[in-house]
Amino acid sequence: MKKYYILILILGLQVFSFGQTATVSTPLLPIENINVFTDRDIYLSGETIWFSATVSLENHQESLSKLLYIELFNADQRSIVKKKYSINQGIAEGALDIPSEFLSDVYYLRAYTPYNKNFPVEQYFLTALQIVNPRKGIPFKKGVDEDQNEIKIHPSNPYSIKTLQAKQGMHLVSIYKSQKEEKTDNGLVIIELVNNHHQIISRAEFILTSKPSLVAFPNSLFSNSGFYYYLLKNQAKKILKVHAFLYQDSSRANFLTEMPKSEFIQRSAVSLDLSKIIPNNHSHLGIKIVQKGSILSSKDKFKLFIKDPYLLFSFLRTQFNPMVLNTREVDTILLALNEKLDLEEYQNLFYTSDVSELKWIPGLKNKGLSGILLNKHSQKPLANNPIYLSIFDTHPEIYVATSNNDGSFQFAITNYEHNKDALLCPIFDKSDETEIKINEEFTLSFPNFKAIPLSTESLSLPLLEQMLFSYHFSKTLKIKSKNQDFSIFNLPFSFDDPKLSIVLANYIETPTLEMVFKELIPSVRVRKHKDSYKLSVVDFENDRLYKNPLILVDDVPVFNLDELLKIPPKVVEKIAVHYTPFYMNNYTINGIVMITTNTDNLGGMTIPKSTRFFEYQTLSPAYIFNSKTYNSVEDINSRIGDFRTLLYWEPFIQNESKQSLYFSTSDQTGDYETFIFGTYKNGQAFHLKAFDFKVID
């Protein structure tokens, strides 16, 4: 363990004649940090939420995971929108469509990776969005307005922690216990220095008496500007006091760039010099231009989020930037925060335990579907058994995985979009004796957070009217397109080019399916051995015979040939044959015989009881925001209305040599704001206003 030597200074009333040794607590598993930026904070039901996410390890290295879960849920902890996105080089982006039936309320957006599921849900990224349904209005909630003027009495805390002016490269803190409530015992206490991610970066032990104690921590412990916390604990590790303070380096992040013009007419082409607003030390950078008022200020978000500890601390460790505030604003926020930190529900979020057992793998290859294969009766895991997965679609997809020693299995599904019907079943004779359990990808756990009411102070009626007007007109504009279109050539196996395909309607009716194979499909051989049938595929070109091919009836695997041959030929539309063996995850498929019926019950067959039909959610496509531009007189004079709340959205500027940004104003007049957002190279996030401008007639 890394050690830092803490200097205990002499402060008149109390003297320490020896130095204290502080240790740094490092989790056994690294933490994956997620930060999600949305285009706005206020939306209408039916609109689109544009988002971008950065995922990185705590040491600012690229993330382990390649899969990001995004959930939009309500105050009842019911997930309404669930999506999965691919993480490429530590970044992900997408668009979430808000259902038009959403009621006016505060909704919650959280993000996590498969690896994050090793840690408590309280550590997931969490933010709140205000969504208004103009057809339903904003309901009045009893007690909400009164709550703003309510005087709350917090329990008194006899302990006091104060930060002092730094001296000689040391950060000083004074600890004191009042004598009013109880007599002070000369007991051993622990002071811990905790960063914004609630990780202990240093600690010291000392005897707390009736006189103030002074402890010093080296400034080198503070890696980034932002909030830090002192935790005072007793020997039983119970938190006695939490004190938040702001550490600032010499740099300032606040700036407001002046535009060449502060006003533009409707449908104007605007060019922006990026060199004037891009931070030199950024790692990821995005830009958005939105109607003024649709993004809450840091102060307003803090005021809204402080009502719930989980939401507040997620905001503080990801997107809150105190460097854009003046001294008075920072003092006001620190005062409010430290009042909350005297409450047990806020202190409880500082009780963290090191995670040593890796229950969820990072998902290095987008392996989303996983489960376990068990014996139905003994519930013991079944090892080394092939498991078949079929994804039903216009272009079906098949996978085979082999169960591990503990019965677990996992599939990589990356070639489909949205929800698809799927099937899972084991590939062996006694499949009825097995049971498949599928792991739930999205976590079912939620923090016990408090519901936050809509902030009537931040919801401007004129703004909502403009947003509603813009929403109706935006339906005529194609504002998003897929980043990458789906291609059947990306599938692991193509069914579009079989070696042989027979349409039964082109031939005379045959009484049994066995005769169909014998008379119409010579490459498929059916023979009876003792009391059961066997089927094989012949590759005449290469003079090879493949036994036990995979048989699919309407994309469902069939292992009981007796049941297969009971299908009446009159319900069979087509039979296709693939001769070539196909290798998948150390399993060889010895050719495929595909039977397509005109029924919805697999031609009347009985399928194994272990077969699982379910709906599988595949990766959601990444979308590109299409910013409307007016480059010609014809476009400018077009009578098609253009009213947009979001003028421009570019979540990740890929080309570092890009010098200019071009966008066009719309027909919507009013004030607009431009924000840059992303992360610095040290991993710290930023969300800064670059400039304002006005659109006039």
pLDDT of residue 294: 92
Distance CA 127, CA 295 (A): 13
72-115 residue pLDDT tens? 999 888 888 999 898 988 899 999 999 888 888 999 999 999 88
Angle at 99 (CA atoms; ends 672, 142), nearest 5 degrees: 80
pLDDT of residue 390: 85
pLDDT band at 272 (very low <50, low <70, confident <90, very high): confident
pLDDT of residue 114: 86
Distance CA 500, CA 150 (A): 78
Question: Which amino acid does the sequence have at 352?
Answer: T
Other Cβ atoms less than 10 A from the Cβ of 297: the count is 14
Distance CA 359, CA 136 (A): 44
Buried b (16+ CB within 10 A) or exposed e, 97-106: ebeeebebbb
Rama region for 210: left / alpha / beta (φ>0; ψ in -120 to 50; rest): alpha
Choose among 488, 533, 663, 513: nearest CA to 573: 513
Question: Which amino acid does the sequence have at 36?
Answer: V
Helix orientation angle between 327-340 and 298-305, rounded to the nearest 10 degrees? 10
pLDDT of residue 628: 82
Which tokens in the block code for residue 208? 């707390």
697, 670 contact by CB (below 8 A): no
Distance CA 282, CA 318 (A): 16
331, 378 contact by CB (below 8 A): no
Mean pLDDT across 399-408:
89
Distance CA 265, CA 480 (A): 25
Choose among 32, 92, 90: nearest CA to 58: 32
Euclidean distance between the first and the last CA atom of the chain, given in angstroms as a whole number: 65
Whether 486 shows a pLDDT value over 50: the answer reads no
Averaging pLDDT over each range in 12-16, 473-477, 561-565, which range is the top one?
561-565
Query: 679 φ, ψ to 5°?
Result: -135, 145
pLDDT band at 655 (very low <50, low <70, confident <90, very high): low
Whether 8 shows a pLDDT value over 80: the answer reads no
290, 645 contact by CB (below 8 A): yes
pLDDT band at 579 (very low <50, low <70, confident <90, very high): confident
Q: For residue 51, give the 3-state DSSP assignment.
A: strand
72, 83 contact by CB (below 8 A): no
Under DSSP, the state recorded for 475 is: T
Choose among 569, 549, 562: nearest CA to 605: 562
Kindly list the structural domains of the chain, giving each domain's residue range(s) and its CATH number in brackets, ordered by start. Answer: 3-28+159-252+299-350 (2.60.40.1930), 263-294+622-696 (2.60.40), 494-610 (2.170.130)
pLDDT of residue 327: 85
169-195 residue pLDDT tens? 888 899 988 765 455 455 789 999 998
pTM of the model: 0.81
Whether 356 shows a pLDDT value over 70: the answer reads no
Q: What is the length of the chain?
A: 697
Between strands 572-578 and 500-503, the pairing is antiparallel
**From 165-169, 204-208, 291-295, 372-376, the region with the lowest mean pLDDT:** 165-169
Mean pLDDT across 253-260:
56
Q: For residue 319, give the 3-state DSSP assignment.
A: coil
The full DSSP string for 348-376 is GGG---------S---TT---EEEEEEET
E strand spans, 540-611? 544-547, 550-553, 556-558, 572-578, 582-584, 587-589, 592-597
pLDDT of residue 673: 93
pLDDT of residue 225: 78
Whether 148 shows a pLDDT value over 50: the answer reads no
Rama region for 49: left / alpha / beta (φ>0; ψ in -120 to 50; rest): beta
pLDDT band at 656 (very low <50, low <70, confident <90, very high): low
Mean pLDDT across 124-136:
90
Helix orientation angle between 309-318 and 298-305, rounded to the nearest 10 degrees? 150
Question: Which amino acid does the sequence have at 434?
Answer: T
pLDDT of residue 291: 93
Mean pLDDT across 244-271:
74
Distance CA 125, CA 35 (A): 7
409-459 residue pLDDT tens? 988 776 666 778 888 988 875 667 889 998 888 888 888 888 888 877 777
Angle at 405 (CA atoms; ends 400, 407), nearest 5 degrees: 60
588, 582 contact by CB (below 8 A): yes
Residue with tokens 């659109």: 695
Query: 520 φ, ψ to 5°?
Result: -105, -25
Distance CA 291, CA 40 (A): 9
Which tokens in the block code for residue 32? 């994956």
Which tokens in the block code for residue 294? 């649709």
Distance CA 602, CA 591 (A): 21
Distance CA 580, CA 578 (A): 6
More confident residue, 107 or 637: 107
pLDDT band at 168 (very low <50, low <70, confident <90, very high): confident
Assign 3-class secondary structure to 240-252. EEEEEEEECCCCC
Which tokens in the block code for residue 108? 């919650």
Mean pLDDT across 60-69:
82
